[in-house]
Structure 1
Amino acid sequence: MPRFAANLSMLYNEHGFLDRFAAAARDGFKAVEFLFPYAFAPAELAARLQDNGLRQVLFNAPPGDWDGGERGIACIPGREAEFRDGFLRALEYAQALDCPRIHVMAGLAPVGRRREELKATYMENLGWAARQAAKAGRSVLLEPINTRDMPGFFLNFQEEAHRIVEDIGAKNLLVQMDLYHCQIMEGDLAARIRKYLPTGRVGHFQIAGVPGRFEPDVGEVNYAYLFGVIDEAAAQCGWDGWIGCEYKPRRGAVPYGTGEGLGWLRSPVLPGV
């Protein structure tokens, strides 16, 4: 069975953010991820991890003006200095939280700019970030995101993400394979897992039910089967990463809670692959 990390930006919203660490630990999670740590002091977050016996396995670099609608700035020409300052800040948090992976969001493609120009900026920023992260023993992740949830996002397909990683050639630059986004844009998930996981370029998985982004036992994707596929492929190539649970609990509000929907985790059924 794969290892699962609770996404504290999506799960346990019945609690304040700092109380979500304890809630995840009570439900049996051994690791967490979240979008952004920057509203809290690194030492405060590190204490929550230590107090609850949790590992931090992923968070995002600063995305620009998130509240204003920005979804990353890595592909945007003219924002390179801001990107670099933000990534160095992310590395400071990664050090404090002992987090091995930082996700860099590509951003929304600015209207009227040529894709070739955006890609060149994106690759230059990724290469620079990978070099800085390598010095600190961290990995940089890039993630294709679907155009239904995030119209205009620059990176949408697994093949392009893997090609970018290959072209840059940094060993610590990896792909974040979110199966929710992949199903919406591409489908054929089992074949894609079997194709990409053995390459060594997949750094992390994320899951959610499709189409509603609810628990992974709701919707059109047979995740129980896919967990077996991941186990099979991981055994062949030695992959030992995590699967982030980045979904919206259907009953994630008072008087119910995230734990109400964790039956899929407590009693998993893995069909043959």
Structure 2
Amino acid sequence: MPRFAANLSMLYPEHDFLDRYAAAARDGFRGVEFLFPYAYEPKELASRLQDNGLEQVLFNAPPGNWDGGERGTACLPGREQEFRDGVVQALRYAEALECPRVHVMAGLVPQGRERADLRPTYVANVRWAAREAAKQGVNVLLEPINTRDIPGFFLNRQDHAHELLAEIGEANVQVQMDLYHCQIVEGDLAMKIRQYLPTGRVGHFQVAGVPQRHEPDVGELNYPYLFSVIDEVSAACGWQGWIGCEYRPARGAQAGGTSEGLGWLRRLTPSS
């Protein structure tokens, strides 16, 4: 069965962020991911990882003005220096947290602009980020995101992401394949896993129930089957990555709500 990482930005919302590490470890997680680490000093986060026997498997580079609605700067002409400064900051955290993957958010297509006009900026920015990240053995991840949750996002489809990988031309750029987003935009998930995972260009998976983004056993997807497909293909191609649990607990922030909702994981990994 694949390795599962708790997304600390979404899971355990009843706890302060720094206390979520211990909560995840108590539930048997051995890896964690989250959106952004920048409100905390790297040494504080590294200490929480070490104290709880956890690996940091993924986080995002700075996204621009998140509270103002921005969702990345990689595709935005005129913001190149800000993008580069953010990548440098992210790589400093990646080194301290021994994290091998950083997701670079593409950003929103500005009103009145076409995606094709932004593609050269995006390609150049990601290529630069990849070359900087390669100096410390870090992979840069690109994530297609659905147009319902983030209207206007630059990158929405798996095939477009893999086309961009070919154009960027750097071996340490990979796709972050979020099955929640992929189902909403495209569907046909099992065949897409079989198509793309053997290429070596899928660096990470994420999961959530569709359509409400709750636990994977809530909604229209048959995740046990999809996990078995990932297992089957991984055995053939040697993939050894993580699956991030990036969902909102159906029980919300009630005490113990995340833990109570992990029946889906206990059924898959009864020894955990």
TM-score (norm 2): 0.98
Distance 1:39 1:125 in 2: 24
- The residue type paired with residue 85 of structure 1 is D
Aligned residue for 2:268, secondary structure, equals coil
Task: Please name the residue that 2:262 is paired with.
Answer: 262
Instruction: Show the counterpart of 1:253.
Output: 253
- Could you report, residue by residue, the CA deviation over 1:218-266 in whole angstroms, capped at 9, with x for unpaired residues? 1000000000000001111100000000000011322342101000001
Whether the aligned pair in 2 keeps the contact of 1:11 and 1:252 (CA below 8 Å) is no
Q: Which runs of 5 or more structure 2 residues have no equivalent in the other structure? A: none
Percent identical:
73
- The secondary structure found in structure 2 opposite 1:191 is helix
Report the equivalent of 1:23: 23
Question: Deviation of residue 115 (structure 1)?
Answer: 2.0
CA shift, 1:213, in A, is 0.2
Paired with 2:215 and 2:234, the residues of 1 have a C-alpha distance of 23
Larger deviation, residues 160-169 vs 188-197: 160-169
* Shift of residue 117, structure 1, vs aligned partner: 2.1
For residues 84-143 of structure 1, the C-alpha deviation after alignment (integer angstroms, 9 at most, x for no partner) is 000000000000000000000000000112322211100000000000000111000000
Q: Who is 1:126 aligned against?
A: 126
Counterpart residue number, 1:76: 76
Q: SS of the counterpart of 1:105? A: coil
Counterpart residue number, 1:40: 40
Which stretch has the larger CA shift, 85-94 or 106-115? Answer: 106-115
Quick one: which amino acid aligns to residue 196 of structure 1?
Answer: Y
- Provide the alpha-carbon RMSD of the alignment: 0.8
CA distance in 2, matches of 1:32, 1:256: 18
Say yes or no: does 1:135 pair with 2:135.
yes
Residue 149 in structure 1 maps to residue 153 in structure 2:
no
Distance in structure 2 (CA, Å) of the matches to 1:258 and 1:12? 6
Give matches, 1:1-273, under 5 Å. Answer: 1-268=1-268
CA distance in 1, matches of 2:166, 2:122: 14
Report the secondary structure of 1:267's partner residue: helix
SS of aligned partner of 1:66: coil
Looking at structure 2, the residues matched to 114 and 53 of structure 1 have their Cα atoms a distance apart, in angstroms, of 46
Quick check: 1:142–1:175 contact (8 Å CA) kept in 2?
yes
Q: 1:201-228: per-residue Cα shift (whole Å, max 9, x none)?
A: 0000000000000000010000000000
Give the alignment's TM-score, normalised by structure 1.
0.97
Asked whether the equivalents of residues 32 and 54 of structure 1 are also in contact (C-alpha less than 8 Å), the reply is yes
- Give the whole-Å Cα distance in 2 for the aligned partners of 1:84 and 1:206: 26
2:53 is paired with a residue whose SS is coil
1:167-211 deviations in Å (ceiling 9; x for gaps):
212110000000000000000000000000000000000000000
Cα distance in 1 between the residues matched to 2:107 and 2:161: 14
63-72 or 251-260, which deviates more? 251-260
Q: Residue 206 of structure 1 aligns to which amino acid in structure 2?
A: Q
- SS of residue matched to 1:240: coil
1:254 and 1:107 map into 2 onto residues whose CA distance is 33
Where does structure 1 lack aligned partners over 5 or more consecutive residues?
none
- Structure-2 separation of matches of 1:89 and 1:72: 14
Structure 1 segments (4+ residues) deviating >4 Å: none
